[in-house]
Amino acid sequence: YRVDTSLVLPKVSPAQWQLRIHGMVDRPMTLTYDELIQKPMIDRDITLTCVSEAVGGNFIGNAQWQGTLLAPILRKARIQRGADQIVMRDVHGMTIGVATDPTLDGRDSMLAVAMNGKVLPQAHGYPVRVVIPGLYGYVSATKWVVDMEFTTFDAFSAYWVKQKPAWSQQAPIKTESRIDVPKRRSTVAAGQVTIAGVAWAQRTGIEAVEVGIDGVFHEARLPAQDTIDTWRQWSYTWDATPGQHTLQVRATNK
C-alpha cells in the first residue's frame, strides 16, 4: 500500500543522496549512498500498516525489504542521554517522529534500498527509505529520507502528531485480523467453503485465530509464522448451508 504526502513524487538520484544525522549526538555525521551500499545488507519480510487501516481495508502490505540495519549507523553518532525521539525528514521537509528505542532495541529497523528483489520503486522512497517493524507507518516508514535529528518529544512535535485530535507519539501496531475470502456481501454455493485471511500482531506474533459463523466461533488453521514482523495467514473450512450468514474473525496475540 502507499500513502503519499506530496502531490509530486520526489526524484532523488543516488549520486546526490545524503543522510544527515545530527541533534543530540556527540558525533554528527553524513552518510552518502555509496557508503550506505557498502554496509552489510539484509533481507527481511516485514508488514507495513497504516494507522488508517479499516476493517477489511487495504492500507496494509507485506513485502521483502533489502537494506542495512539502522542501529549500527545511529550508534556511531553517539546518542546523548535523554534523546527519546528521532525526527526524520524527507527531501521535501516532511517530518516523521519516531521513538529512539525501537530503532535500537534489536528489531530489524533498516534503511531500505530494495523491495521484493528489485531496486526500491520511486513511489516507495527511492533511493532510500526507513522501515521500522511494529509501528504504524506515520512514525516508522519515512520515504526519501535525508535527515535524522535526535531530540525529545517535549521539544518537537512531528507533522502527524500535531494533527487534531492528537496522534500518538509511540504508535505501536495493535493486534488485528481480516477476512479476505469470501468477499463481503458475496454469494457462495452451499457445501464446503474456505474462509481465509490474515492476522497480525507485530513484535509479538499471532497465537490463535477464530472464525465466527453467525456468532459461534471456531478455531482456524494457522500455517507456520513467517516472522513476528509479518502477518500470518489463516483458514477455516466451513460446511455452508443455504441462507444468509454473518462471518467474523478475531485474533489472539502471543
How far is the first Cα of the chain from the last one, in angstroms, to the nearest whole number?
26
Contact 200, 47 (CB under 8 A): yes
**pLDDT tier at 40, thresholds 50, 70, 90:** very high
**pLDDT tier at 140, thresholds 50, 70, 90:** very high
Q: What percent of the chain has pLDDT over 90?
A: 86
- Compute the distance between CA of residue 209 and CA of residue 236 in angstroms, rounded to an integer: 10
Going from the C-alpha of 203 to that of each of 102, 171, 234, the distances in angstroms are 11, 13, 18
Average pLDDT over residues 147-169: 90
Average pLDDT over residues 43-64: 88
Q: What percent of the chain has pLDDT over 70?
A: 100
User: Is the predicted pLDDT of residue 164 greater than 80, yes or no?
Assistant: no
* Per-residue pLDDT tens digits for 178-207: 999 999 889 999 999 999 999 999 999 999
- Compute the distance between CA of residue 233 and CA of residue 251 in angstroms, rounded to an integer: 11
Contact 105, 98 (CB under 8 A): no
- Compute the distance between CA of residue 141 and CA of residue 19 in angstroms, rounded to an integer: 15
- The mean pLDDT value of the chain amounts to 94
User: Is the predicted pLDDT of residue 25 greater than 80, yes or no?
Assistant: yes
Q: What is the pLDDT of residue 66?
A: 98
Q: What is the pLDDT of residue 184?
A: 87
* Per-residue pLDDT tens digits for 204-224: 999 999 999 999 999 999 999
Average pLDDT over residues 224-242: 95
- Compute the distance between CA of residue 4 and CA of residue 237 in angstroms, rounded to an integer: 38
Average pLDDT over residues 40-45: 96
Contact 122, 11 (CB under 8 A): yes
Average pLDDT over residues 68-72: 98
